[in-house]
């Protein structure tokens, strides 16, 4: 087994007459992922866990925020490594420094994936969540039927039906669809009457009234929550078919 770094391998060759020759070959073993670090944004009160460097340690999460819906990402890696940001290759200087701008338009939060690959395909990967700066202006959230225009406080369903819901953030500039992956759905009253999926699809099983809630966690300290009353009625019996 080769050691990490430079290895000298001796090769002995012997012919039919017993003559021998010894040769040496230098083999470099490199299994170490390239160093990868991302410059931290300035601390935002209530929205960032720590300042400094976000290193290539698994499951480390730091909340960052865009400016004018754009996030300037800066970092450093091993010289010669190739860097991609969300699968798009970015320029890297001879010293390993890179910089690129990522758009948050259309997102309330976006997980940016940065990957560095060295010359022998060793890989380092960092994933950082970045909040759209419009989140700072959120005044509330509202629940709508998926594809609907009006916020809901009450809605009706039949047993056996499925209805899809979506959550929007409300600001002075309008409403913005929140990524369904960032919403936590729950039934807080009448949970035996139906079931809601992680994506906000409500399945109605029994007649009655239930309260469906949606929570959007902006930070460890701040969460928006909204609810809608769902009235479930028995599905109408199909009219008999008299055509025979």
- Say what the pLDDT of residue 63 is: 53
- CATH 2.60.40.10 residue ranges for the chain: 36-130
Is the pLDDT score of 53 beyond 60?
A: no
Topology, domain 36-130: Immunoglobulin-like (2.60.40)
Backbone dihedral region of 193: left (phi > 0), alpha (psi from -120 to 50 degrees) or beta?
alpha
Residue appearing with tokens 């040769």: 23
In the prediction, which pLDDT does 59 show?
Answer: 34
> What is this structure's pTM?
0.55
Classify strands 162-171 and 154-158 as parallel, antiparallel or unpaired: unpaired
User: What is the CATH topology of the domain spanning 138-233?
Assistant: Immunoglobulin-like (2.60.40)
Please list the residue range(s) of the chain that carry CATH number 2.60.40.3440.
Answer: 138-233
pLDDT tens per residue across span 19-35: 788 877 777 666 788 88
Encoding tokens for residue 55?
């290193």
Examine the pLDDT at 99 and tell me if it is beyond 60.
Answer: yes
Q: Are 95 and 75 in contact (CB under 8 A)?
A: no
Residue 208 contacts residue 190 (beta carbons within 8 Å): yes
178: closest CA among 228, 237, 109, 129?
Answer: 109
Which of 84, 86, 42 has the alpha carbon at shortest distance from 64? 42
Q: Does residue 206 carry a pLDDT above 70? A: yes
Mean pLDDT over all residues of the chain?
A: 81
């Amino acid at each position: 087994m080769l050691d990490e770094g430079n290895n000298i391998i001796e090769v002995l060759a012997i012919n039919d007459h017993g003559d021998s020759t010894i040769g040496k070959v230098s083999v470099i073993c490199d299994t170490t992922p390239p160093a990868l670090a991302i410059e931290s944004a300035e601390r935002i009160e209530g929205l960032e866990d720590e300042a400094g460097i976000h290193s290539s340690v698994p499951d480390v999460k730091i909340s960052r925020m865009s400016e004018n819906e754009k996030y300037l990402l800066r970092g450093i890696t091993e010289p010669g490594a190739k860097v991609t940001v969300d699968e798009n290759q970015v320029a890297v200087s001879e010293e390993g420094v890179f910089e690129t701008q990522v758009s948050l338009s259309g997102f309330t939060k976006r997980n940016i994936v940065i990957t560095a690959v060295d010359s022998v395909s060793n890989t380092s990967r960092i994933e950082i969540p970045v909040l759209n700066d419009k989140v700072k202006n959120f005044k509330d959230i509202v629940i709508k039927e998926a594809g609907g225009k009006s916020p809901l406080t009450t809605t009706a369903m039949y047993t056996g039906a499925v209805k899809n819901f979506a959550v929007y953030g409300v600001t002075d500039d309008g409403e913005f669809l929140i990524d369904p992956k960032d919403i936590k759905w729950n039934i807080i009253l009448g949970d035996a009457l139906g079931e809601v999926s992680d994506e906000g699809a409500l399945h109605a099983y029994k007649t009655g009234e239930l309260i469906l809630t949606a929570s959007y966690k902006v930070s460890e300290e701040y969460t928006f929550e909204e609810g809608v009353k769902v009235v479930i009625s028995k599905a109408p019996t199909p009219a008999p078919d008299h055509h025979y």
